[in-house]
Amino acid sequence: MCLPHAGGSASFFFPVSKALTPAVEVLAVQYPGRQDRRHEANIADLPELADRIFAALRGLDDRPMALFGHSMGAVLAYEIALRARDAGLPSPVRLFASGRRAPSRHRDERVHLEPDARIVAELRMLSGTNAAMLADPEVLDMIMPAVRSDYRAVETYRHEPGRTLDCPVTVLTGDSDPRVSPDEAEAWTEHTTGPTEVEVLPGGHFFLVEHSARVVRLVADKLKGQ
């Protein structure tokens, strides 16, 4: 199951789904407030969003599942895995944490409090949003509420110490990502008793767009036999 970044949508993972099918059944989460769920209220609280997603997954807990989250989605994947553990359900066969520092490594970021123009500048800097969309005022009017809400959710999130997973964790990070330092990526080892490995790829925060084929191969290799 794939969980997108702040401001992202399920369609971001369409290339991954296409590449992994039929060997792996790929599900992608569509957060409220965008695309086909644009008429639903945004959720600006990350634990609440994790609760909602976990509840929606309860009918799928009879099959092995891996979680792949990018940026904010990596924190959601971690929180969903914790909820599965707390409920006595099977752990994910693997958690892929992409483009996100470990939950315990907090930075005081307040982009969600900035004017729209500052948030747009942030999106341009990270290069994960189509430039034409960011230049279209009508499109911005549609997407900015969801973007701001997601940034608020992830920037106000606080990790609860003492809670750990037992599943394997694969961390993927770009070697020039301004949002994740090498130490912050390595710190994922503190969040599971299972094996953890860090894969460093060339690129910035959205390295997985530039190197999608390599990321897909890595995921497929890790899930063989699961």
| Mean of pLDDT values over 88-103 | 97
> What are residue 100's DSSP bridge partners?
none
Fold adopted by 2-223: Rossmann fold (3.40.50)
Is 90 exceeded by the pLDDT of residue 187? yes
Is 80 exceeded by the pLDDT of residue 173? yes
| Mean of pLDDT values over 42-53 | 98
Mean pLDDT of the chain: 95
Q: What is the pTM of this model?
A: 0.96
Q: Which two tokens stand for residue 44?
A: 């600006």
Q: Each residue of 116-172: pLDDT tens digit?
A: 999 999 999 999 998 899 999 999 999 999 999 999 999 999 999 999 999 999 999
Report the amino acid identity of residue 99.
Answer: G
- Give the rounded percent of residues in the chain with a pLDDT score beyond 90: 92
Q: Which two tokens stand for residue 41?
A: 């209220």
Q: Which two tokens stand for residue 8?
A: 């992202």
DSSP state of 8: -
Q: Each residue of 2-20: pLDDT tens digit?
A: 999 999 999 999 999 999 9
User: Annotated active-site positions, please?
Assistant: 71
Instruction: Give one DSSP letter per residue of 134-198, joined into a string.
Output: HT-HHHHHHHHHHHHHHHHHHHS----TT--B-S-EEEEEETT-TT--HHHHHGGGGGBSS-EEE
